[in-house]
């Protein structure tokens, strides 16, 4: 299991696409996760910041699709803009 705030808002795992150029960090990261057959389990927006578009930048990766079930995105902790 690999999980973190990767800060790559241009990646869209749900639609298997990257809204950035082919040589960007986001594109290279996305391609690497596909090459490693990693499954990304977060499917909801995880960051809300005033005057910015909500984004999904917190990911959880595993090597098995069914390893994580019933994942829920909750409220932010403290003053964080991450849920």
Both tokens of 9, joined, read: 């808002």
DSSP 47: B
What pLDDT is stored for residue 76 in this prediction?
Answer: 78
- Is the pLDDT confidence value at 50 over 90? no
pTM of the predicted structure, to 2 decimals: 0.82
- 3, β-bridge pairs: 60
pLDDT band with cut points at 50, 70 and 90 for residue 23: very high
What pLDDT is stored for residue 41 in this prediction?
Answer: 93
Domain boundaries of the chain, sorted by first residue: 2-62
Measuring CA to CA, how many Å separate 83 from each of 8, 21, 43, 76, 77? 16, 28, 12, 4, 7
* 3-state secondary structure (DSSP) of residue 20: coil
């Amino acid at each position: 299991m690999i999980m973190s705030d990767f800060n790559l808002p241009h990646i869209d795992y749900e639609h298997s696409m990257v809204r950035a150029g082919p040589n960007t960090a986001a594109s290279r990261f996305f391609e690497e996760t596909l090459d490693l057959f990693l499954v990304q389990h977060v499917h909801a927006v995880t960051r809300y910041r005033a005057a910015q578009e909500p984004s999904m930048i917190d990911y959880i990766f595993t090597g098995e699709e069914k390893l994580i079930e019933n994942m829920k995105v909750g409220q932010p902790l403290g003053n964080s803009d991450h849920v």
